[in-house]
Structure formats: structure tokens, C-alpha cells
């Protein structure tokens, strides 16, 4: 009997029941729809911070004394960490798009010679400005750092060359978010936060509610298998999640005029993976909790670090190493990179593949764990 392991009928029966119950519980239902709107309103303002050691790629066509001086000054300043000391233009672009570096700094071929001649050569700095809070301080101090570096090197016999104003003509490209609008960063991130909180809380309550009301006892003597139980409880919320995404994307377009640069289909696929991961986490909580109150507490003790450490509240690169490590195992961290990449940078599958993979691995691991933890008895 195939029914032994998984029965589509039982799964559908459970799902139908959840839908009916959801429909009857008007309060919860309207909360699930209004929470995204509320959070959109709340997070219109972002929290600022001062991240340092931002990864930087250098395109150095000069290799002269002055380009070296500028590079080392950048590093000494603490704001920049040279991740790729000498790369091609394409490579640098790829790194920026994948989010591996925050800045690209390009020195033209005869940079040192022209500085020595006092010609104020151009220096191009491109920044990944999806998260303006992450780059603003680093960019703000840029011209001072460069001026100081060249000033020191233009002492002695070359002191006469010291120009009165800036020794280079600095060009700044804020890529992906030219105006440096904070909402650009926050609003796509909200998709992640809203999905995460609704999904984890709702599923955490799902099984616990059955236990608290005593219906679990009747359910456990039916032939329902753990996998059917999990999928039956989870599927209705996937649909709710998709509605929430639509609400936020629409609000992003209409209220904050944030364009969707990437592929909507790819975004939806990633959202589904993320929703699945969160539902599995909620399901684990609902297996462990005895009461709905406990389930609620577990859910919020998971959501708090998710929101704080994922790069939603504070720039990820501004956090200390241990916090970044913690952030790395939170699904929201990976999802935020994906969603910002797709919405703001127009990233394709290759750019986001490794964050998507990380999400998938987390999902699988958590789902397997939850099936293991599921108790088929009352004790």
C-alpha cells in the first residue's frame, strides 16, 4: 500500500481543514494581511551604523607609487579591506554584483605620472549602494583619505607640485541605488522579515493548538503520517506567504517607487524556498512546545536574532565576526542577499546561486529534523 507512506487524500483532507479553520479565524487572517502593511510603514526609516573593513576590489592600470600609496592609505583608514588587489574590469563587476565586494576603485593607466604633474587624474570609485547605511561613512571619508595619502608623498622636492585643492578628480558611482535611498534597502528586506515572522509564528501555533485543544488525541489515532501532517499544516500558509509578497512588491512599486530589476519568477522561486525553510522551523517549535504561549515565545526568540543579525536592521558588514557567523546560519541572512540582489541589482541565478544553495541546505536539514522530532504518541 502506497498509502502507508504518503497519501495525497489525507494531505488534502488536512489542508482543507486548515483552510476552513483559517477562514473562520478572521482576526488571525486579517493580521496576516495587515502585518506587512504595518511593517512597511514602520520601517520606512532605517537604523544607521558605521561598518568598517568593507571588501574592496582594485582595478590598477597604473601600478605606480601613488596608486600604491592610495591603496595602503585606504586600508590603513579601517574602512576598506582590499579583497581583490588587482582584477580586470569584468571580474570586478562580477564581484560587486555578487555582493562579494562593496567597492571597486579604478586607477587609470598613468595615474602616478599625472599626479606628479599635478594634472588631477580621474579616480573612479563605484559603490554597491543597495544599503546606503553601509557605505555612507566609508564614502564620506574617502576624499580626505586620498588627500592625506598623496599629501605625505608629495613632500620634499615634489612639494612644489602639491596642488592647492584635491590632487585627483574623484568620481563616485553609487551603483544599484543612485540616490542612496534607504527604503531601497529596507523594503525588499521587509519581504524576508514579514514572511519569516508570519510563517514561523503561524506554524509554531498550528500543531500546538491541536495539542492544547485536545484534538491531537483524535488526530493521532487516525492513519495520518508525520509528513502528511507537516505538509497539510504548512501548505495553506505558503499561499498566505505569496499574498504577502505581492502586497509588499506592490507597495514597493507604488509607495516607494522601487523598481524590480530582476526576474520575478526567480524571485518567487527563492521566496518559496525561504517560506519552506521558515515553515519547517515553525513546525519544529510547534512539536516542542506544550502550549501556544510556549510556541509563541520560541518563535519570537528565533525572530529577534533573525531581524537583528541578518543585515536587515544593521549592515551585515558592520557586525563583529561572531555575529556574522551566527547570521550566516539564519535563513533570513541568505534570503536578504538574494532578494536585494534580484530586486535592486537585477541579479540572475548565477549571482545568487550560493545563497540559494545555503537556503536549500538549511531547509532540508530542518525539515528532516522536524520529522524526526515529531511524536506519534501523547507521552
Partner 1 sequence: MSMAISVSGLTKRFGERVVVNDLSLNVPAGQIMGFLGPNGSGKTTTLRMLCGLLTPDGGQGRCLGHDIRTEAAAIKRQVGYMTQKFSLYEDLSIQENLAFFARVHGLPKVGVLVRETLERLGLWSRRSQLAAHLSGGWKQRLALAACILHRPRLLLLDEPTAGVDPQARRDFWAELHRLAADGLTVLVSTHYMDEAERCHGIAYLAYGTLLTCGTVDQVVASSGLTTTRASGPPEALARLHQALHGLAGVEMVAPFGRALHVGSSDAQALGAALAPFRHTPDIVWSDDPPSLEDAFIHLMAGVTRTQGQGQGQGQAGAEHG
- 149's grid cell: 595619502
- Cβ proximity to partner 1: between 179 and 379 the closer is 379
Q: Is 27 in the site for partner 1 (CB under 8 A)?
A: no
The cell numbers describing 66, all together, are 601613488
Nearer to partner 1, 117 or 372 (CB): 372
Residue 213: CB minimum distance to partner 1, A: 7
* Residue 161 near residue 116, CB atoms below 8 Å: yes
**Contact call for residue 9 and partner 1 (CB under 8 A):** yes
Phi, psi dihedrals of residue 99, rounded to the nearest 5°? 85, 10
Binding mask 330-349 for partner 1 (x = CB under 8 A): --------------------
Over the Cα atoms of the chain, what is R_g? 26
Q: Binding of partner 1 at residue 224 (CB under 8 A)?
A: yes
Eight-class DSSP state of 110: T
Identify the residue among 30, 169, 222, 301 touching partner 1 (CB under 8 A): 222
Spatial contact of 112 and 66, defined as CB atoms under 8 Å apart = yes
Q: Minimal distance in Å, beta carbon 370 to partner 1? A: 19
How many residues make contact with partner 1 (CB under 8 A)? Answer: 28
Instruction: Decide if residue 7 touches partner 1 (CB under 8 A).
Output: yes
DSSP secondary structure code for residue 158 in this structure: G
Would you count residue 171 as binding partner 1 (CB under 8 A)?
A: no
H/E run at residue 174: strand 169-175
The reply on whether position 233 binds partner 1 by CB under 8 A is: no
**Which CB sits closer to partner 1, 19 or 349?**
19
* Per-residue cell: 90: 569584468
CA distances from 88 to 48, 94, 112, 288, 336 (A): 33, 10, 19, 52, 28
Pairing of strands 54-60, 169-175: unpaired
Counting contacts by CB under 8 A, is residue 155 touching partner 1? no
Cβ 228 to partner 1 shortest distance, Å: 9
Cβ proximity to partner 1, 24 vs 155, nearer residue? 24
Torsion sign (Cα): 358, 360, 362, 365: negative
Question: Shortest gap between Cβ of 375 and partner 1 (angstroms)?
Answer: 10
223 interacts with partner 1 by CB under 8 A: yes
Among residues 6, 25, 52, 291, which is the contact residue for partner 1, using CB under 8 A?
25
**Strand ordering across the sheet containing 54-60:** 80-84, 54-60, 103-107, 122-128, 169-175
Which residue(s) pair with 80 in the sheet? 54
**165 in contact with partner 1 (CB under 8 A):** no
- Interaction between residue 157 and partner 1 (CB under 8 A): no
Nearest distance in Å: CB 280, partner 1: 23
- Closest CB 84 distance from partner 1, rounded Å: 58
3-state secondary structure at position 56 = strand
If the CB atoms of residues 7 and 294 are measured against partner 1, the closer one turns out to be 7
Cβ closer to partner 1: 64 or 232?
232
Q: Residue 351 in 3-state DSSP?
A: helix
Q: Say how far apart CA 54 and CA 102 lie, in whole Å.
A: 6
Q: How many CB atoms sit inside 10 A of residue 238's CB?
A: 15
- Judged by CB, which is closer to partner 1: 213, or 290? 213
How many CB atoms are located within 10 Å of the residue 229 CB?
Answer: 24
Site string for partner 1, 182-221 (x = CB under 8 A): -------------------------------xxxxxx-xx
Cell numbers that stand for 183 in this block = 527604503
Question: Residues interacting with partner 1, by CB under 8 A?
Answer: 3, 7, 9-10, 12-14, 16-17, 20-21, 24-25, 213-218, 220-224, 376-379
Amino acid at each position: 500500500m502506497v498509502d502507508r507512506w504518503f497519501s495525497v487524500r489525507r494531505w488534502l483532507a488536512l489542508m482543507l481543514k486548515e483552510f476552513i479553520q483559517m477562514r473562520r479565524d478572521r482576526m488571525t487572517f486579517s493580521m496576516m494581511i495587515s502585518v506587512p502593511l504595518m511593517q512597511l510603514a514602520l520601517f520606512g526609516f532605517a537604523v544607521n551604523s558605521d561598518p568598517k573593513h568593507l571588501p574592496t576590489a582594485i582595478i590598477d592600470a597604473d601600478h605606480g607609487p601613488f596608486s600604491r600609496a592610495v591603496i595602503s592609505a585606504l586600508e590603513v583608514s579601517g574602512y576598506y579591506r582590499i579583497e581583490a588587489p588587482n582584477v580586470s574590469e569584468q571580474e570586478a563587476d562580477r564581484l560587486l554584483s555578487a555582493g562579494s565586494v562593496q567597492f571597486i576603485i579604478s586607477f587609470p593607466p598613468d595615474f602616478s605620472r599625472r599626479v606628479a604633474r599635478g594634472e588631477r587624474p580621474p579616480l573612479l570609485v563605484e559603490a554597491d549602494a543597495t544599503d546606503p547605511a553601509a557605505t555612507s561613512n566609508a564614502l564620506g571619508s574617502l576624499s580626505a583619505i586620498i588627500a592625506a595619502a598623496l599629501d605625505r608623498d608629495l613632500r620634499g622636492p615634489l612639494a612644489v607640485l602639491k596642488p592647492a585643492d584635491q590632487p585627483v578628480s574623484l568620481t563616485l558611482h553609487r551603483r544599484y541605488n543612485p540616490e542612496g535611498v534607504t527604503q531601497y534597502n529596507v523594503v525588499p528586506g521587509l519581504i524576508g522579515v514579514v514572511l519569516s515572522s508570519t510563517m514561523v509564528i503561524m506554524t509554531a501555533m498550528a500543531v500546538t493548538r491541536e495539542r492544547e485543544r485536545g484534538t491531537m488525541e483524535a488526530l493521532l489515532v487516525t492513519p495520518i503520517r508525520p509528513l502528511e501532517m507537516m505538509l497539510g499544516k504548512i501548505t495553506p500558509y505558503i499561499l498566505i506567504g505569496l499574498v504577502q509578497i505581492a502586497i509588499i512588491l506592490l507597495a514597493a512599486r507604488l509607495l516607494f517607487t522601487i523598481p524590480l530589476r530582476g526576474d520575478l519568477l526567480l524571485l518567487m522561486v527563492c521566496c518559496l524556498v525561504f517560506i519552506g525553510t521558515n515553515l519547517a522551523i515553525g513546525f519544529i517549535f510547534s512539536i516542542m512546545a506544550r502550549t501556544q504561549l510556549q510556541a509563541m515565545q520560541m518563535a519570537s526568540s528565533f525572530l529577534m536574532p533573525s531581524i537583528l543579525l541578518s543585515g536587515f536592521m544593521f549592515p551585515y558588514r558592520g557586525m563583529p565576526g561572531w555575529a556574522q557567523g551566527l547570521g550566516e546560519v539564519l535563513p533570513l541572512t541568505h534570503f536578504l542577499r538574494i532578494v536585494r540582489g534580484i530586486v535592486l541589482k537585477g541579479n540572475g541565478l548565477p549571482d545568487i546561486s550560493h545563497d540559494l544553495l545555503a537556503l536549500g541546505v538549511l531547509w532540508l536539514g530542518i525539515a528532516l529534523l522536524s520529522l524526526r522530532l515529531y511524536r506519534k504518541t501523547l507521552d
